[in-house]
Structures are given as structure tokens and as C-alpha cells.
Structure 1
Amino acid sequence: MKNKKFKNTIRNIHLWLGLATGLVVFIISITGALYIFEEEIREVTQKDFRYVTLQQKPFVGLDKIIVNFGKISPKDQLKLIRIEDGFPNATVEITSKKSAVYYFNPYDASLVKKGSEDWLGVVEHIHTSLLLGKTGELIMQWSVVIFVLMLITGLVLWFPGQMRLLKQSLTIKRKASFKRLNYDLHNVMGFYASIILLVTALSGLYFAFKGVKTAASFFTGSKLGQGKAVVSVKSVQIDPLPIRYNKIYTEAKTKYPGAISSSFSLRGKGELRLRLIYPYRWARKQNTFFYEEATGTMIRAKLYKDFNGADLIEATNYDLHTGRLLGLPNKILSFFAALIAASLPITGFIIWWKKRKKPKKKAL
């Protein structure tokens, strides 16, 4: 009797949380499924401007590309620079503060293409904020918290009361009525996808809440590093911005060679970040350097060789969330899990609607 009462309570929690957040969960899941293959989609659809013909020439230099950017768009400012060091014929991507995106030839600094953020960028913004700014981010964050609770309560409801019913809970009866088929799709498919979805949701919460990072630090017995402070003599002469960026990039690449990807980004409060990513299998190997944007003086550096447990979790989390960890097989599994997640609010709503329409027995 107590067990039945407990399950009814869990069922009500699962139901009302699902009805409250079903639409948001559907949107998160569909956009997440699309973004899993972001790299592959871009490789196919954007190859004409992301790469130029391979030439036996050295990299033209970041300074020349930045100078050309300034000539093309004199009233705009840099926000982000991406360099695919692993592919010498990959164009250098510059995103401006006005959200325009420029692709430059790495051999002669000429402009290959100018455009706005692509549709995959819009998909990412929908996934993280519903295109509603901070309000949307808040809605998404707490919807994921609720989704985690729904996955847990769903597992409780799935667990059969008797072991002889276990096979039934793991099988979809394809020749059953629509009502039964829909129930099995919700119950059985939800169970099979639950572990992947829990990992994906929890890794998403890592981005959203500082408390999750604190918990990760607690369990690893280590504190997330901000990088070691660097004491350096400030140059009396401050180089122009293009030369400054090029000098920072060249010096970092010379001292820490082997990077396959580099990116500059402005982080606010006058701080510039350079991130170098190296070939890796599990946790992302990245060296991150922080500079005064106005002078190019290094403030601190965080090297992957110094990573502790909390740093390794942070370095792995993005690939864990997007399904990139372990390569293509995991991407495929994550993709289908995301599609199942998108179906759960639909099949769950149908279950509730069918029960709601069920005629009540008349009292004798």
C-alpha cells in the first residue's frame, strides 16, 4: 500500500513537471540533436569559404589579416579570432562586435567571405536561451533541472514491481493498440536513453550553475584553477593592435608548439584570452593565456600539463555534453537519445490526454 502511494506521488510529480516544461524540453532536445553534428554539417555546407586552395606558402601573419579587417570595416571592432592551425589552407575567421563574420585567406590576407552568424549559430542560441537573452537562459537552465528530476522519477516509475515483468518493461509491443504502443514508446525508449540523457543534462548544468562546478571540485578534492599569475615587465612601447595580436600569437605558438586550433576572444574588463588546443582523446588539451588587451602584457597562464581533477572535468565537459567524446559512435548515440528526449513530451502528453478523456465509472 505504501509502495503504491509512493509511486502515485512520483507519478504526479513526473506528470506535472512534464506538462510544465514539455515544450522547452522539446526545443532543447531538437536543437541539441542538430548541434551534435555541427562540425560535420559545416564541413559539408561551408567548405567553399572555410578553405582555400592549398599552397606551398607560409601563413601571411595575423597582423596583416587584422589590418585588412580594419580597412574593410573601419567602424567595427574585433570580438573573436579563430585560426585552424591544423589546416594551413583553412581561412582565418574574425567575428566583430557587430556580429559580422569575416573569412580571410591565410596566404595573402584577402577577404574570402563576409556574412552574419550562420543558422547553426542561431540553433545554438535557441538551445541556450530561446533567443530571449538572460530571461531565456534562466528558463533553459531551470528547465534542465526539472528535466533531470523527470528522468529520475521516470526511472522510478519504469522499474517493474516484480522481476517477472522486467522483460515487458524492456520491450515495445509493435502490434499493440495505439494507446499501448505510445505508452511503450514513452516508457521503454525513455529508459534506454535515460543514462545518456542524464549525462547530457548534468553536463549542461555544469555550464549553467556555479554550484555544479563547486560540487565537481568537492568530489575531486581539487579547486578549479584560474591559471598561474605571470610576472612580466611591461613594455614601455605599446605596439599597435595588429602587431600586438600577432606577437602574442607567434610567441605562444613558438613556446608551446603543436596546437591544431587557436582562438582569441575579448572577455570584458580589458582582458584578452588566447586558447591553444592540441590533439587529444579524452580531456581537451588546451593551454590558455590571459593578457591585458590594451598592452598585450600577459597576466596569467593555465597549462593542460598542470590540470587537476576539477580542471580535467571542465576540459572534458563540452565534449561530453555535445557527444564529441569518443568520436562518431557516441555522436550517433547522443543524436538518437536527443530525438527520444524530444519525443518524450509528446508521448507523455498523449498518455495524460488519453487518461483524461477516459470516461469515469458511474456510481451505482
Structure 2
Amino acid sequence: MHTIIPLHAQDETSSVSSRNYRILWRWHFYAGLFVMPFLVVLAITGAIYVFKPQIENVLYGDKLFVPVSTQARLGYDKLLSIAASALPPDATASAIAVSQDPRRSTEAVFRLPSGDSSSVYLNPYTGQVLGTLSVEHRLMQQVRQIHRDLLLGRWGGWLMELAACWSLIMVGTGIALWWPRKRFSVWGTVLPRLGLRGRAVWRELHLVIGIWVSIGAVFFIMSGLPWSGFWGKNFQAVVTWASFAQPPAAAKSTHTHGADAPADGHGATARMPNMPTVPKKMQDLPLADIPWAVGATTVPVSQHMLQDLQHQPLAIDQVVAIAAHNGMQTYQLALPVKSADVFTASYAPGAGEFVRSDLDRQRTLHIDRYSGKIMKDLRFSDYSAVSKLVTLGVALHMGEYFGLANQLICAAISLTLLGMAVTGFVMWWQRRPPNSIGAPKRVLQPTPSIARWKSYMAILGIIFPLMGVTMLAVWLGDTLFFRKRA
């Protein structure tokens, strides 16, 4: 005669640690199942993109570099005119790279009628057109966009953000599952046991390598999230407001000149032709790389009207001279398109020719297109502590801070995370029952001690709202559809 024990009774007779383990394993399984394909994409594209300077030098070296010459450089206005002749007549100049490196070509960026942008590369000594490249469709830009949004735009960006957030759950529950429940042993805990066979080998590698790479994984996640489309955008807006917003009566900062000064003497800036109704942000400018700390700051508008004969638009060479007088020698220069636009010079280490991030040299200079007045001068010293921390994190994340060693470390972490995805998949495939997803058995009677983990996950859900919504969806689905499964 066989005694039938109800499932909830089996749960109650299981040890507390066993039930906790199964609950955490189930959440680790769900997180891994969702994150795994995205983790593969992030790892591969991240390992490639971190070597962007070297790859682009190989692919486009004939366009990026010129023989050093003793001949005087041509003016930037002249170079821009030559570059325009290499494109359709309806292309609009949007930016130009200013550099003091005698080996570098000059890059001029144009907006095409199709909406895409094209870079024209010129020899700054002779004016020879070296070639053109699409801004959006060059190889490393495509790799970057796959890394950020799978080339799917906003929805793709939200998916990648969700994957990054769920990776935090995956890492947290993974550490909990790894944590020794019995007597500590080096082998099997911090070093893999090499004598195992079959699925046990994959499990051992997954556990041990996972604990070693967990710190790097969390760093990658937290340093990448400030660039995400939902959480990152809102976080950036809050940090920017806290860093640069001033009360109406407050004095201007040391390096900000006239950005909010009234133009008509009555406390309001005079309306100008083509003045935008919605203030333009730095991140809206046609620049390859913009410092995160200033991406959400407002770009000032010119204080002089185009019809004022005393204030004709400045030539690019005049603007370059003004920037040089103010200590900027190498930067990207966004060109004004409408009459209310200004020139914006931005030094963002990591862009173009910069391999090492000299963080304290980051600078953004807004120059009135008519008077040449410095309207805003934002430097690294003006950033808040949070902005400086994010800036450092981004530089390390992209392998820009301490040269080749930084790149190799980032690539090693990325490839190790790829290995974690592969070992996790193999483990799941080997234990998956036929015609089943193979999720760990559900615990019907959770222990009171698991409440601590619930609070941790609730805090994460509040901090990262997109993840919070999906966590509720997973919990509801697990409760409603698998209620009768132990």
C-alpha cells in the first residue's frame, strides 16, 4: 500500500534552505532564460566595439590619416567648400572636426536629403578629397547600435535595457546559489574540480567562472544603464537638472557667460526668425560623441538677429580662432543651420582620434554665431559628483580610460559572459525534460526568510520601473499558470 503525500506537505517537510534554494533557482532560471540571447549579443558586440580605434584605423586608415607636411593648412571654410562639392548640392553641412594632429585628415559631416549623414575626409594641406563614409552605416556604428537597441529603435533599446536590469537578478540569485551551504572548500567554490564528467562539468564551470566575473558583470550593467533609452534618459535629466539648474536670481557659474541674459531689457529673450519653440538639447546636435554629463543640457540661442547689419554671421575660421583663444585646440564643431543657432565646440574623449579619455579635459563651448560671444562654457570641473562618476564609468566601460589594457580587460569580461551564456544553455538543454521548458519545481510554501529577497527585488523594481513591471508579470504568470505544479 502506497501513501500519497500532497505536494504542499512535501514542501513543508523540505528543509528551509532547500526551499529557499529552489525559489532562488527558479528566479535565476527565468532571468537567465530571458537574458541569455541578449547577453550573447551584448558580449559579442561589446568585445568588438571596445577595439573601435584599432578597427577603424585598419578599415579607414586611408581616409583618417595623411602624410605630415610642412605646407600650411587650408582654412576650414575652404575645406568645407571643397567637401560640399563632393556631395549632392542639397546636402547641408552640419559639423566639422578641428584637430591639431598633423597626421589627421579633416572630417566634414553633411546631412543628406534622405535624412542620413555622410562624412567627407580631406587632406588639410592640399584639399584633396580622400573619400566619404556613411555616418550611420559604417561598421562600428552598426555594431554600436546593435549593442544598444538591436537596430530596432526605441523598442529595441527598451528590450536591451530590460535584459541589463534582469541581469542584476541573474547575478544576484547566481551568487546566492553559489554561496556554500556546507563546509567551505576551495575546489568547487573558487576553483573548478577538473575530474568531473558530463553535466557536472558544465555546472562547475558555470558556478565558479560566474562568481569570478560577477563583479565585472555588475560594473558593465551599472555603467551602461546611464545610456539606456528609458531609465538612463530620465536619470540623465534628473542629474542634469540637479547639476546645472539655477534659481532665477542666482549668479551665473564661473564658466557660463550670458546663456540666460535677457536680450530685450525686459526680462525675456527677443524672439528671432527660425527660433525653435522647443529648446534644443546637446544630444540633438550632429556630433559623433557628446559627454554624458552635458547631453541633456539646453543649447543656447543666438542673441542677435540675422537682419542686424552690425552682426553678420562669423566664418568657421573666425570661430576656430575664438575657440583657440579660449584654450580649445581639438574638438568637434557643430555648425548652425537656422538663424538662431550657435556654434558648439565639444571635446569628448573617445570620439574620433581620441583613444585615451583625459576626463578632466572634457569641455563644451557654445559660441554666438554673430558676435562670437562665449554663451556657455561647460567643463569637467562644473560636473556634479554623480556626473563625474558616470563619466568615469562610461570611459572604463568602453575601454577608453587607460589604453590597451582597459580594452583587453573589457573584452575578457565580455567573452567570459558569453561563456556563461553558453554553459547556462548547455546545462538547461541537458536537464530539460522532453516537451517541457524545464523550469525548476515551484515551491508552494515559501519560507518566511525568503522575504528578505523579495524586498531586494522590490527595491530593484522601484529603481528600475521597466524591470519592476516585468517582474510583476513574471510573478503573476508563475502564480496563475503554474499554481498546481510543484
Shorter-normalised TM range: 0.7 to 0.9
Note if 1:105 corresponds to 2:105.
no
2:185 is aligned to: 165
Change in 2 beyond 3 A, CA 1:286/1:349: same
**Superposition deviation, residue 122 in structure 1:** 0.9
CA distance in 2, matches of 1:157, 1:294: 64
2:467 is aligned to: none
CA distance in 2, matches of 1:33, 1:352: 25
**Superposition deviation, residue 131 in structure 1:** 0.8
Higher mean C-alpha deviation, range 170-179 or range 64-73: 170-179
Contact 1:230 1:301 in 2 (8 A): yes
Change in 2 beyond 3 A, CA 1:246/1:267: closer
| Equivalent residue in structure 2 for 1:223, among 227, 242, 253 | 242
CA distance in 1, matches of 2:420, 2:335: 40
Counterpart AA for 1:103? Y
Higher mean C-alpha deviation, range 285-294 or range 177-186: 285-294
Matches within 5 A, 1:73-222: 73=87, 74-85=89-100, 87-97=101-111, 98-116=116-134, 117-208=137-228, 209-213=232-236
Bigger strand share: 1
Higher mean C-alpha deviation, range 125-134 or range 62-71: 62-71
CA distance in 2, matches of 1:22, 1:322: 22
**Superposition deviation, residue 54 in structure 1:** 0.4
Identity rate of aligned residues, in percent? 21
Q: What secondary structure is seen at the aligned counterpart in 1 of 2:315?
A: helix
Contact 1:83 1:263 in 2 (8 A): yes
Matches within 5 A, 1:1-364: 1-73=15-87, 74-85=89-100, 87-97=101-111, 98-116=116-134, 117-208=137-228, 209-213=232-236, 223-225=242-244, 229-231=256-258, 234=304, 236-237=308-309, 239=312, 244-257=315-328, 259=329, 261-265=330-334, 270=341, 272-276=343-347, 283-291=359-367, 298-357=374-433
Q: What secondary structure is seen at the aligned counterpart in 2 of 1:168?
A: coil
Q: What secondary structure is seen at the aligned counterpart in 1 of 2:244?
A: coil
Change in 2 beyond 3 A, CA 1:284/1:199: farther
**Superposition deviation, residue 166 in structure 1:** 4.0
Higher mean C-alpha deviation, range 298-307 or range 95-104: 298-307
Q: What secondary structure is seen at the aligned counterpart in 1 of 2:212?
A: helix
Bigger helix share: 1
CA offsets, 1:59-115, max 9 Å, x none? Answer: 322211211222222211234433343x21201122322322211112133211113
- RMSD value, Cα: 3.2
Change in 2 beyond 3 A, CA 1:239/1:12: farther
- Unaligned 5+ segments in structure 2 are 1-14, 246-252, 260-302, 439-486
Higher mean C-alpha deviation, range 309-318 or range 117-126: 309-318
**Superposition deviation, residue 17 in structure 1:** 1.4
Q: What secondary structure is seen at the aligned counterpart in 1 of 2:242?
A: coil
**TM-score between the two structures when normalised by the length of structure 1:** 0.84
Change in 2 beyond 3 A, CA 1:123/1:266: farther
**TM-score between the two structures when normalised by the length of structure 2:** 0.65
Contact 2:109 2:117 in 1 (8 A): yes
**Superposition deviation, residue 341 in structure 1:** 1.3
Change in 2 beyond 3 A, CA 1:165/1:92: same
Rg: which structure is higher?
2
CA offsets, 1:233-285, max 9 Å, x none? Answer: 74845545xx533322221122214x4x4112479994653113579766352
CA offsets, 1:105-134, max 9 Å, x none? Answer: 121332111132421111111111111111
**Superposition deviation, residue 185 in structure 1:** 2.5
CA distance in 2, matches of 1:149, 1:96: 44
CA distance in 2, matches of 1:26, 1:70: 41
CA distance in 2, matches of 1:345, 1:315: 29
CA distance in 2, matches of 1:348, 1:61: 58
CA distance in 2, matches of 1:293, 1:149: 50
CA offsets, 1:316-354, max 9 Å, x none? Answer: 232122122233222212101101112222211221222
CA distance in 2, matches of 1:317, 1:80: 27
CA distance in 1, matches of 2:370, 2:155: 33
Change in 2 beyond 3 A, CA 1:216/1:223: closer
